[in-house]
């Protein structure tokens, strides 16, 4: 593929990139139900040698956990709570918007009662049985939280009041995170509505400020030392961490705390590839390039290199980690030449796998990931002063990176276009030959990082 065709790639890739953000989320929503259905069907079918895929004990344990949590949870509202809420509804709404504070016990009790009703009614079996009612419950909660303090004119007083209300809501969400599966998903959905300062329209108001406890809660769901959260719930926590990073200017130390847990989860190689992809997508949003406590290790780069080098992982996961190399936060101390060579080596492997099944539409994302490791997707990404995207932009003077990009295009182009035709063997051979002849003399990409494996 010529360089000029490569320059047209953003137009082609955007066609599949529009749906990229949610492809992992949709997959995660289906993992539990589909895997359980297939496993039950296989268990009921007559045994035949080689006819049934053997799942790991880990996968079986995850299925059992999801099955147990999919059952009816514990309703958290008493039978008369609906009637009681209707009695205070107007006063609750007025208090919610006007405040000005919850210093009086009566006002705090009313706020707690109103929030508890709106949040905990999703534990009602009749509500959970209706997708419409679940959706309406989420809209009602978001409408209430968004209107909190809307009539308080002083910005500081409004922030202080919203913090009081969001703290109560956060405590109530904790009860949902210990209930059944639907309740846990609902709680994670609402966590990012706990905004203390909402997005404004003026200069310097393009980010929100969340309740301080939100990132710690997401991290605790992800780590879950009690082993009570299935990977399907952890995956949603990872998606919410991604959204958290996008919506706010997280402090460097907070970013590193979240990145550390995301990386720890990613190193659990027994997990489903869809979960791993959600973890990587969240890690890509980290803008802090190095640890801020102790040795200044570029830890997210270390994680991505480990994933790219692990040939036992899904090729889709490895290619996504390659995209992360060109998009996660960096600094001038990082040498991208050995990283570009490593991504090209990965592209050669991916090309070989693609040619075994050139009609597989999933490879379009793999090709897109390889392309975006080197190239920006939009002009805004190319001009981002804080975190320019793509290795071509991160080290524009490197001849090796430009040559690596040309070789990667030979693989990424056919994957993205996905015409059903394999990559020409001559092109694949040329990529492999370049990888053999172009090994950098120094494979250490950073003074505090490890050597890039060959």
Which residues does residue 35 pair with via DSSP β-bridges, in sequence order?
none
pLDDT number for residue 54: 63
Residue 275 and residue 30 in contact, taking contact as beta carbons nearer than 8 Å: no
Residues in the chain: 454
Model confidence over 233-254: pLDDT tens digits? 999 999 999 999 999 989 999 9
Q: How many CB atoms lie within 10 A of CB 92?
A: 21
pLDDT number for residue 226: 72
Joined tokens for residue 100: 């000005």
Q: What are the per-10-residue average pLDDT scores of the chain (454 residues)?
A: 41 39 42 39 34 71 92 89 95 97 96 97 94 96 96 95 98 96 96 88 64 96 86 96 94 96 96 96 97 96 98 97 98 97 98 94 96 96 92 97 98 93 97 98 96 96
| Spatial separation of the C-alpha atoms in residues 93 and 90, rounded to whole Å | 5
Q: What is the DSSP letter of 123?
A: G
454: helix, coil or strand? Answer: coil
| Spatial separation of the C-alpha atoms in residues 157 and 6, rounded to whole Å | 53
Contacts of 187-192 with CB under 8 Å at 24 or more apart are 188/218, 188/221, 188/233, 188/236, 188/237, 188/240, 189/138, 189/236, 189/240, 190/119, 190/138, 190/141, 190/142, 190/145, 191/217, 191/218, 191/240, 192/240, 192/243, 192/244, 192/247
Given the structure tokens 């040698």, which residue do they identify? 49
Q: How many CB atoms lie within 10 A of CB 285?
A: 21
Given the structure tokens 């492997």, which residue do they identify? 349
| Spatial separation of the C-alpha atoms in residues 247 and 190, rounded to whole Å | 14
Q: Could you tell me which of 141, 238, 233, 242 has the C-alpha nearest to residue 195?
A: 141
Angle, helix 231-247 to helix 181-191, in steps of 10 degrees: 10
| Spatial separation of the C-alpha atoms in residues 235 and 268, rounded to whole Å | 13
**List of residues 6+ apart from 25 with CB closer than 8 A:** 236, 239, 278
pLDDT number for residue 358: 93
CB crowding 54-91: b at 16 or more within 10 Å, else e: eeeeebeebbebbeebbeebebbbeeebeeebeebeee
Given the structure tokens 């793999």, which residue do they identify? 366
pLDDT number for residue 359: 84
Phi and psi at residue 229, to the nearest 5° = -100, 120
| pTM given for the model | 0.88
209: helix, coil or strand? Answer: strand
**List of residues 6+ apart from 260 with CB closer than 8 A:** 299
Which residues does residue 444 pair with via DSSP β-bridges, in sequence order?
451
Tell me how many degrees the CA angle 143-28-177 measures, rounded to the nearest 5.
50
Residue 327 and residue 372 in contact, taking contact as beta carbons nearer than 8 Å: yes
| Spatial separation of the C-alpha atoms in residues 123 and 134, rounded to whole Å | 10
pLDDT number for residue 24: 40
Q: How far is CA 74 from CA 125, 128, 351, in A?
A: 9, 12, 50
In what helix (H) or strand (E) does residue 436 lie, and over which residues does it extend? helix 425-437
pLDDT number for residue 338: 98
């Amino acid at each position: 593929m010529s360089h000029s065709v490569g320059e047209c790639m953003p137009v082609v890739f955007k066609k599949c990139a529009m749906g990229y953000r949610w492809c992992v989320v949709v997959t995660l929503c289906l993992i539990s139900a589909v895997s359980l259905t297939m496993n039950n069907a296989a268990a009921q079918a007559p045994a035949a040698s080689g006819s049934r895929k053997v799942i790991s004990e880990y996968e079986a344990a995850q299925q059992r956990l999801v099955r147990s949590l999919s059952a009816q949870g514990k309703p958290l509202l008493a039978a008369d709570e609906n009637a009681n809420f209707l009695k205070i509804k107007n006063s609750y709404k007025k208090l919610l918007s006007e405040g000005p504070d919850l210093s009086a016990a009566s006002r705090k009790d009313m706020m707690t009662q109103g929030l508890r009703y709106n949040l905990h009614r999703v534990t009602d079996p009749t509500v959970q049985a209706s997708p419409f009612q679940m959706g309406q419950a989420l809209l009602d909660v978001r409408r209430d939280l968004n209107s909190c303090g809307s009539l308080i004119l002083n910005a500081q007083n409004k922030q202080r009041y919203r913090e009081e209300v969001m703290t109560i809501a956060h405590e109530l969400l904790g009860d949902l995170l210990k209930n059944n599966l639907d309740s846990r998903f609902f709680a994670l959905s609402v966590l990012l509505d706990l905004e203390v300062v909402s997005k404004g329209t003026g200069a310097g108001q393009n980010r929100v400020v969340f309740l301080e406890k939100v990132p710690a809660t997401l991290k605790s769901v992800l780590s879950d030392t009690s082993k009570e959260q299935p990977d399907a719930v952890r995956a949603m926590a990872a998606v919410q961490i991604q959204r958290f990073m996008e919506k706010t200017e997280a402090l460097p130390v907070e970013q590193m705390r979240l990145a550390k847990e995301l990386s720890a989860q990613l190193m659990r190689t027994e997990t489903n590839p869809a979960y791993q992809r959600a973890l990587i997508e969240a890690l890509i949003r980290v803008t802090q390039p190095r640890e801020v406590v102790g040795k200044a290790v570029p830890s997210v780069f270390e994680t991505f290199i480990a994933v790219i080098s692990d040939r036992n992982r899904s090729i889709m996961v490895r290619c996504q980690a390659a995209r992360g190399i060109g998009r996660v936060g960096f600094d001038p101390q990082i040498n991208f030449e050995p990283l570009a060579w490593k991504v090209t080596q990965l592209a050669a492997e991916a090309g070989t796998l693609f040619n075994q099944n050139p009609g597989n539409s999933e490879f379009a994302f793999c090709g897109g990931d390889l392309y975006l490791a080197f190239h920006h997707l939009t002009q805004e990404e190319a001009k981002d002063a804080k975190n320019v995207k793509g290795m071509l932009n991160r080290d524009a003077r490197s001849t090796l990176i430009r040559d690596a990009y040309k070789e990667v295009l030979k693989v990424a182009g056919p994957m993205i276009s996905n015409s059903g035709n394999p990559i020409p063997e001559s092109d694949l051979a040329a990529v492999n030959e370049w990888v053999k002849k172009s090994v950098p003399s120094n494979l250490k990409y950073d003074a505090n990082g490890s050597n890039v494996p060959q």
